[in-house]
Structure 1
Amino acid sequence: MSPYLLQAEGVTIRGEGVTIAPFSCSLEAGGRLTLLGETGSGKSLIAQAIMGTLPRGLAARGQLVIDGEDFDAADATSRRALWGHRLALLPQEPWHALDPTMRSVSQVAESHRHVAGRDRRAALQAAWADLAELGLAEAGGKLPGELSGGMAQRVAFAAASAGGAPIVIADEPTKGLDAPRRNAVVELLARTPEAGGALLTITHDIDVARRLGGEVVILRQGQVVERGPAQQVLAHPQSEYGQRLLDAEPSRWPRPQPLGERQAPVVSASGLAKSRGGRELFRNLSLEVSPGEIVGVVGPAGCGKSTLGDMLLGVMHADSGEIHRATGHPLGFQKLYQDPPAAFSAHWRLARLLDDLVHRHRLDRAAIAPLMARLGLDENLLGRRPGEISGGELQRFAILRVLLLEPCFLFADEPTSRLDPITQRQTLELLVELARERRCGVMLVSHDPALIERICDKRISLGGPASVTKQERDPAMA
């Protein structure tokens, strides 16, 4: 019997333009392995090959050892009996894992009952305890569609973890979470190896990889470019790509060129107030966004950042206050969603979805190819459906789609939460460049204060004592 809880030997993935070179890893009891790399490098596909859930058109080869049992990677169905009991996946997209018709606590309780074997009452008690530990006590009675992206992700985390599997694969488990919630999830992930299990984590967050420790593997274009102890690789990378990855952390970004002379705002508001569920989100909030200006929005989860954007876009009413929008822009007010799967039809290929957009709004089809090139999107992806590409690739398609509409105001709700540091930096630099070039005002939501400081001309802070809000110009950007 193998001494490893999880072992992959020479695993390859091929099909539809994808080639993942032979990948091998070994995790003993207590082992931690983190996969880092650019969007589309194959990190999630490796996890899917181990689980036996590769998309149609892709096939795996190689050998696997899972909790002491040998498997052929090519036989996907052979691992299904392990799901939840011995092998658990925390998915990248909670919308693909949660039942939209079932309330959060019931989804977690279902795992406790049918996977862990608890009776109905004990399963429900355990589910409430899990949600409370993740700061979701108020979300237990809500449907997935009523949750923010970060909240839905934590519910999926609780449901996947309820069976107590000794091997956990976590695919981007902290994306879209603010720092306190991210740290709490890291602590929860660490419980698996501390209890004698094994943890394989896929993340774009270098700080998460540092906190988890263990071994780090850096992937690029389906190949391993560097591997070793996390402390060594993330402090002194030996590969050129590893160094680029670290240099792309937001705290190291150069600041963009100043905005220059401000013109009449594309959107402005005064005295805004909003409450939801009997709780005040913000009050007496005034702001304005000029053409080409980048305004950051920061604050803890649930403080009303997305709600503010919906109000400025005209899809939600304020309790009080006034909002003024520039006229003469029929498609001018657009939103980039935090969770792109919720914004794309899952049934159609991306080429068809873009064709429909071009036809519906009489857009310039010739603008698609150069924008795809600037966003680093391969034309082969057009032949796939939204669920058949990585979350980062789909988010860049969302950016492509909204830029084709040439908006005058764009509310970008965590638009790069699925992107690796290098792609995130390139994408946001391009977004700032295009905003300046096209005189589009952008309101950018992020949980990363360093990112907001480097990218934005000014910022709005929501939350804090008594829900006091403030708008302030960042002195570093003056």
Structure 2
Amino acid sequence: MTTPLKSDALLAVEGLGIQVGGKRLLRDIGFSLRPGEALTLVGESGAGKSLLAQAIMGNLPPALQAMGQITLDGATTRAQDAAARRALWGRKLALLPQEPSLALNPLARVAPQLAEVYRLLHQQRPSAASAQAEQVLGAAGLGGAGSHYPWQLSGGMAQRAVAAITLAGGAPVLMVDEPTKGLDAHWRGRMVELFQGVLKAGGCLLTITHDMQVAQALGGQVIVLRHGQAVEQGDIHTVAAAPQHAFTRQLLQADPAHWLPFAEPSLGEPVVQAHGISKAYGAQKLFAPLDLELRSGERIAVQGPSGTGKSTLGNVLLGLVAPDTGRVERSARLRPHAFQKLYQDPVGSFAPHIGLAQSLRDAARLHRCDWKAVQQRLAQLRVPEDLLARRPDQVSGGELQRIALARVLVAQPALLFADEPTSRLDPITQQEAIQVLMGAVQETGAALMLVTHDPHLAAAVGTRTLDFAQG
């Protein structure tokens, strides 16, 4: 789907396609963005949205071949000529990537990483760059986190840190990939305001998101992708109000706001009990002395602002982190592997240099699970088995999140702590994944703790809610 080139476009894409071997992953995508204009890409997980952004950046994996033309600030290059566009990184073209853990240097503290942008791109003196970095981090709610390493941040905090670093360059062409995943409503709104500021300043914005509320707040155009093709394209408000394609209608209808609550479970014996537990990191107190009991079959939805200790609570209950006070009692009749975590960042939960098939087969062997059962679970989650021949960094975030769900269910957990398990999934795939998760939980009688910022998802899944916003 190719659109005419606007003469004053900051970014224009014509006939963009991507293939690997003889397989087309993306075909004939076209659009044009002038100063102040926004475009949102929505669609199914694995449809090629992130690949499109990587092709524009000139950062595709070597095995993938791009076709078509890309125009940036008046200069046109072939899509496969990546070097010319790489020279524009930071100054003219910037990408907020989907996985903050891969964008931040794990060996450097957050504030110096941001200060480096002001020092190198804006030629500020080190003292001025450091002062501006601290000011920007404070505005992002990260005032006390500048001295932290990335691995000390929550998923939402890391997302905000990467956004601050990406925006610091002031590039007029900004692409953002799932920029609001892992963020509560307040910071999601603040992120939208930052992007609107880019548009008001005369930049253009390409957003990849599964959140139609974010897309509508940003305005402009929308392209709906399915199987690597644009099935619908037009004004975002028109498409949201009257979608023409059946897939677009299906996407909108699959939003958790339309879900019915899952059936009430039968509760069994306590799986884990916490008595007076608390946790702090330095001067930051995450949660005060807390008593909690979770019984088999029970489902608790955990909600609250980013960085308030939701993930840390799960780590304490699972025995991954020791509490500062109190104690945790896990049922003695359960084996250690019965306590499992589905990580918010799926990339960080896979060995980077081991193929996905090997990771799944190792888990199946450890937990004595028949491989056919694993294949059945993958089919339920619509994961093509040929994806397993790849490494974790060679599949999309949504695909990897579904594979992570299949892997954790291999262990048949008695307690599953699921930390934002569907944040990288489109609404249709999210609904399917939650149905698979709930089916497994109901079948085995497992207890479930689900961390989510979506109140509709929490209401549909949880039998009770633990709200960190209420202390």
TM-score, normalising length from structure 2? 0.95
CA distance 1:94–1:69, change in 2 (3 Å) = same
Contact preservation (8 Å) 1:329, 1:408? no
| TM-fit CA distance, 1:121 | 2.0
2:271 is matched with which residue? 266
AA partner of residue 344 (structure 2): Q
* Structure 1 segment 29-428 matched on structure 2, within 5 A: 29-259=35-265, 261-326=266-331, 327-428=333-434
Q: Which runs of 5+ in 1 are unaligned?
A: 468-478
Q: Which runs of 5+ in 2 are unaligned?
A: 1-5
Does residue 452 of structure 1 match 2:464? no
Q: Which deviates the most, 327-336 or 161-170?
A: 327-336
Within 1, Cα distance between the matches of 2:24 and 2:272?
44
AA partner of residue 95 (structure 2): L
Contact preservation (8 Å) 1:32, 1:213? yes
Contact preservation (8 Å) 1:334, 1:411? yes
Within 1, Cα distance between the matches of 2:299 and 2:337?
19
AA partner of residue 447 (structure 2): G
| TM-fit CA distance, 1:18 | 4.5
Does residue 11 of structure 1 match 2:10? no
SS at match of 1:138: coil
Percent of residue pairs bearing the same amino acid type: 47
Within 2, Cα distance between the matches of 1:57 and 1:114?
32
TM-score, normalising length from structure 1? 0.94
Within 1, Cα distance between the matches of 2:116 and 2:381?
41
SS at match of 2:469: coil
Q: Deviations over 1:284-308 (max 9, x none)?
A: 4222222232210111112211111
2:3 is matched with which residue? none
SS at match of 1:459: strand
| TM-fit CA distance, 1:271 | 3.0
Aligned alpha-carbon RMSD (Å): 1.5
Within 1, Cα distance between the matches of 2:138 and 2:327?
37
Does residue 438 of structure 1 match 2:465? no
SS at match of 2:337: coil
AA partner of residue 429 (structure 1): Q
Q: Deviations over 1:324-349 (max 9, x none)?
A: 22223231000011111111111121
Contact preservation (8 Å) 1:30, 1:195? yes
SS at match of 2:144: helix
AA partner of residue 212 (structure 1): L
Q: Which deviates the most, 348-357 or 239-248?
A: 348-357
| TM-fit CA distance, 1:239 | 1.3
Q: Deviations over 1:45-87 (max 9, x none)?
A: 1111111111232110001111111111011222110000100
| TM-fit CA distance, 1:238 | 1.5
Within 1, Cα distance between the matches of 2:121 and 2:362?
43
Q: Deviations over 1:305-364 (max 9, x none)?
A: 111111110122223334222223231000011111111111121112223333444432
What is the aligned residue count?
A: 464
Q: Deviations over 1:113-141 (max 9, x none)?
A: 11233222222122112211111111100
